[in-house]
Chains A and B, each alone.
Chain A
C-alpha cells in the first residue's frame, strides 16, 4: 500500500491546483461565425398571392416571408444581426436597423409580425429601381456603418405597372467600385404557376381577386424604343401604337429568370424561398459568415480533471482489487487449462 500513498498525494495536489485554475473562470477566444443581414421585404400587392402551403392551408407569400424571417432570428447564431426594411414603389424604407437576434428576439419578432402590405406608401412597384436605390442607400456613407449588413432582397419579381426597359438604371454601377461591394442575396418568393392576386379593402379584408381589367397590362410609360416599328404609332395620339393590351399581369408567379438577371448584374447571389426552414438553413451556407471572437468559458475542463483526480483518490484501491482479481483469474484459468 505504500506506493499508493504517494500516488494519492499527487492526486490530491493535482486536484487542488486544477480547482484553483477553475476558480479563475478561464476563457477561450473562440472564433464564431455570425451573420449580419438587412432584409428588404417586397410588400406590394402581388405578395398577397397565396401560393405557399402550410399544412392544409394556403398562405400568402408575405406570410411565408414573415415566418422565414422569424425562423432566421431563431436559428442564426447569437451575435448575428437582422434588420428589416420594406420595399414598394421604387425604393426601400428602413423600418429597423440590424439588431442582435438573441437578445432582441421578442421585439424583433413583433416587428416582423407587423410587416403588412398596408404599410406601402405607394402602390406601384419597380423592382430594378428598388434594388438600385437600396444598394445606393447601403453604400451611403452616413448609414453604411449603422447598417453594416448583407442585403436580403426578398421579392416575387412581379412589377406593376410593367416597366419600360428604356428607363432602367444600370445595376452594374455598383460593381468594381473598390471600397464598397454589394453583398447578399436576392430571394425569390412565389410559385411557378400563375395564381390569382387577392384584392383587399382598406380594412384588410379580402374582397376577391384582381381581374384582367384592374391592372395595367403593358407598359405605357415614357417612349418606346423604336416607335416607328409599332403598329398604329402616332407621336401624339398613340405613342404606343394600337397593339394588343391584354395580358396576364393580374395573375402572378415567381419571375425567377428576371430576378436571376438582376442578381447577376448587381453582384448578388440568388436563392429561392421554398420553406422558411429551408431558407433559414441555406442562407447560412450561401452567405459568407463574418467571424467574430467570442470568449467561451472553459472552467469545466480543469474542473473535470480535478474531479477525476478526486475520484481516483477513492477508487484507486478498487482498481487494485479488480486488477488483482483479474490477474488471479487468468492465472487460475491457465493453470486449469494445463
Chain B
C-alpha cells in the first residue's frame, strides 16, 4: 500500500540537514569540572545524551515536515460498487418551456423543463457513484459536458434547462452525439442514455442504421422519459386507423417502435406530470445498479498538525531534561 504522501513546499526540505545539529551540540548547559577524564563513563549518561539528541532531531525534522505542509494527496482507489455511466440527453426545444398542460409556465405551474431540471438534479445528487455526462439537442446536437464525477459541473449543465429552449427537436443526431461519449471508454459498469424529451421526430434512414449499429456495439441501454403534454400523443398511443400510422403523423409511436429494434435493453416512461416523471426516474435508479469498478476518491488529508504534535512531544522530553538539570555543583 502506498502512502501517497506529498508536501506543498518542497524547498523547505532543503533545510533538512539541520536535523544534524542536536548531534553536534547539547542543549543542556555544561558545568566546569576539574578533570572530565576523572568522571566515570556511565552508560546512563551516554543513553541520556543519545536520547536527547534523538529528541532534538525528531523535533526539528517534524517541524520542518509540518512547515513544508506534509499531507496525504487526494487519490482514488478502485473499489467494486454499484453505479453507472449515464448520459443525460436533454431536449432543449421551445416546447419544453410550456407546462404539462401545454400552457406557458407561470408562477403556479412549473414548465416541463423546470420539472425535469429539479428531478434530474435530485436524481444526480442521490447517485453518488455514477458518472454523469450531459448532451442536449434542438435543431442541432449540443455537446455539453463529458462523463465526469464533478457534480458541480453536472449540476451547472442540468441548470441550463432553466433557460429558454431553442428551436426544434432533432432526436437522431442527439442520440448519435450521446453515444459518442462512450467511445474510447473502458467497458465497465452499466451504460445508459437517459433521453428526456417532450416530443419526437422522425429519424432519417442513415442515422437509424448508425444507431442500430452503435447501440449494441457500445453496449448502451436507452431510457426514454417522455414528458407528455396533455392532448398530445405519446409513444404508447395506438393509431385510430391505418392511414394515420405513419412516422410523420405519429412520430412518438414510431420512434418508440424504432427504439425497440435497437437490440439493447430499452424502456420508455410516459410522464404526464411531475409526479410521474419522478416515478420514471426512480425506476431508472433501481435498474442501473450493476457492479462497477469505481474509483473511490480518498480526499487529501493534512498531516502538518500531526507533525507538530510529534515535535511538541520531543520538545517536552527536552524540556523535562532541562528542568532536571543540575544547577550548580555547589547546590
Interface residues of A (CB under 8 A from B): 1-2, 4-5, 8-9, 12-13, 15-16, 19-20, 22-25, 83, 86, 91, 93-100, 103-104, 106-108, 110-111, 114, 116, 118-122, 137, 142-143, 146, 297, 299-300, 303-304, 306-307, 310-311, 313-315, 317-318
- Which residue of chain B has its CB nearest to the CB of A86? B142
Say whether B59 contacts A310, CB under 8 Å: yes
Query: Chain B: residues with CB nearer than 8 A to chain A?
Result: 9, 18, 21-22, 24-25, 27, 29-30, 56, 59-60, 63-64, 66-67, 69, 92, 136, 138-146, 148, 150, 152-153, 155-157, 159-160, 162-164, 166-167, 302, 304-305, 308-309, 311-312, 315-316, 318-319, 322-323, 325
Tell me the nearest residue of chain B to A19, going by C-beta: B312
State in angstroms the CA–CA spacing of A5 and B159 once bound together.
68
Taking CB atoms, residues of chain B closer than 8 Å to A317 are: 25
Asked, given contacts A111-B143, A121-B140, whether A16 binds B315 with beta carbons under 8 Å apart, the answer is: yes
Taking A22-B305, A99-B153 as given, write out 16 further A-B residue pairs in contact, using a Cβ cutoff of 8 Å, ordered by the A residue number: A12-B318, A23-B308, A95-B144, A95-B157, A96-B157, A97-B155, A104-B152, A107-B150, A110-B146, A122-B167, A297-B69, A297-B302, A307-B63, A313-B27, A313-B56, A315-B21
Are A97's CB and B159's CB within 8 A?
yes
Question: What is the CB-to-nearest-CB distance from A303 to chain B, in angstroms, rounded to a whole number?
Answer: 5
A143 and B162 CA atoms in complex are apart in Å by 7
Contact B25–A315 (Cβ < 8 Å):
yes
Contact of B160 among A4, A9, A95 (CB under 8 A): A95
Residue from the list A1, A19, A95, A107 in contact with B148, Cβ < 8 A? A107
Tell me whether B156 and A16 are in contact (CB under 8 A).
no
Per DSSP, chain A at the interface is helix
Q: Determine the residue in chain A with the shortest Cβ distance to B29.
A: A5
A300 closest partner in B (C-beta): B67
A97→B139 contact, CB < 8 A: no
With A and B bound together, what is the CA distance between A122 and B166 in angstroms? 10
Can you name 14 A-B pairs with beta carbons within 8 Å? A12-B27, A15-B59, A22-B305, A25-B305, A97-B155, A97-B156, A107-B153, A111-B145, A111-B146, A143-B163, A300-B304, A303-B66, A311-B60, A317-B25
In the assembled complex, the Cα of A299 lies from the Cα of B60 at a distance in Å of: 16
- Give min CB distance, B152 to chain A, whole Å: 6
Query: Shortest Cβ distance from A4 into chain B, in angstroms?
Result: 6
Q: Are B319 and A13 in contact (CB under 8 A)?
A: yes
How far does the Cβ of A223 sit from chain B's closest Cβ, in whole Å? 27
Closest to A104 in B: B153
Bound-state CA distance A317–B64 (Å) is: 22
Closest 6 CB pairs of A and B: A114-B143, A97-B156, A121-B139, A107-B148, A104-B153, A110-B146
CA of A99 to CA of B319 in the docked complex: distance in angstroms?
Answer: 52
Which residues of chain B are within 8 angstroms of A103 by Cβ–Cβ distance? Answer: 150, 152
Decide if A310 touches B302 in the complex (CB within 8 Å): no
Bound: A86/B311 CA distance, A: 56
Which residues of chain A have C-beta atoms less than 8 A from B145's C-beta?
96, 107, 110-111
Q: Determine whether the beta carbon of B67 is less than 8 Å from that of A303.
A: yes
B21 adjacent to A314 (CB under 8 Å): yes
B60→A96 contact, CB < 8 A: no
Q: Name the contact of A19 in the complex, choosing from B30, B141, B315 (C-beta under 8 A).
A: B315
Q: Give CA–CA (A317, B24) in the complex, Å.
A: 11
Among B56, B139, B144, chain A packs the most CB atoms within 10 A around the CB of: B144
Assess the B160–A94 pair: CB atoms within 8 A: yes
Residues from chain B with Cβ under 8 Å of A23 in the complex? 305, 308-309, 312
CB contacts (< 8 Å) of B25 on chain A: these are: 314-315, 317-318
Collect the chain A residues with CB atoms within 8 Å of residue B56's CB.
310, 313-314
Of B56, B152, B315, most buried by chain A (CB within 10 Å of CB) is B315
B162 and chain A: residue at smallest CB distance: A143
Given known contacts A110-B145, A122-B139, A300-B67, is B29 in contact with A1 (CB within 8 Å)? yes
Among B142, B148, B322, the residue within 8 A (CB) of A12 is B322
List the B side residues contacting A118 at CB < 8 Å.
140
Bound-state Cα–Cα, A104 to B18, Å: 41
- CB neighbours of A146 from chain B (8 A): 159, 162
Q: Complex formed: what's the CA distance from A8 to B322 in Å? A: 9
Q: Give the contacting residue for B167; candidates A94, A121, A300, A311; CB below 8 A.
A: A121
In the complex, how many angstroms separate the beta carbon of B181 from the nearest chain A beta carbon?
10
Q: How far is the CB of A122 from chain B (nearest CB, A)?
A: 7
Q: Whole-angstrom distance between the alpha carbons of A111 and B152 in the complex?
A: 14
Separation in Å of the A165 CB from the closest CB of chain B?
Answer: 26
Report B-chain residues with C-beta under 8 Å of the C-beta of A120: 140
Q: Which of A93, A119, A303, A315 contacts B308 (CB 8 A)?
A: A303
B144, B159, B311, B319: the one within 8 Å of A111 (CB): B144
Nearest opposing residue in chain A for B138, CB measure: A121
Q: Which of A22, A104, A306 is B150 in contact with, Cβ under 8 Å?
A: A104
B76 to chain A, nearest CB (A): 14
For residue A103, give the distance in angstroms from its CB to the closest CB of chain B: 7
Looking at the assembled complex, report how far the CB atom of A146 sits from the nearest CB atom of chain B, in whole angstroms.
5
Docked-complex contact A137 and B163, CB < 8 angstroms: yes
Q: Which residue of A lies closest to B321 (CB)?
A: A12
Query: How far, in Å, is A106 (CB) from chain B's closest CB?
Result: 7
B308 contacts A100, C-beta separation under 8 Å: no
**Which residues of B have CB within 8 Å of A122?**
139, 167
With A1-B30, A8-B322 as known contacts, state yes or no: A16 contacts B162, CB within 8 Å.
no
Complex CA gap A269/B15 in Å reads 50
**Closest A residue, CB atoms, query B141:** A119
Instruction: Give min CB distance, A257 to chain B, whole Å.
Output: 31
Rounded to whole angstroms, the CA-CA distance of A95 and B140 in the bound complex is 13
Using Cβ atoms and an 8 Å threshold, which residues of chain B touch A19? Answer: 63, 308, 311-312, 315
Q: How far is the CA of A106 from the CA of B167 in the complex (A)?
A: 30
Please measure, in the bound complex, the distance between the C-alpha atom of A9 and the C-alpha atom of B155, giving whole angstroms: 58
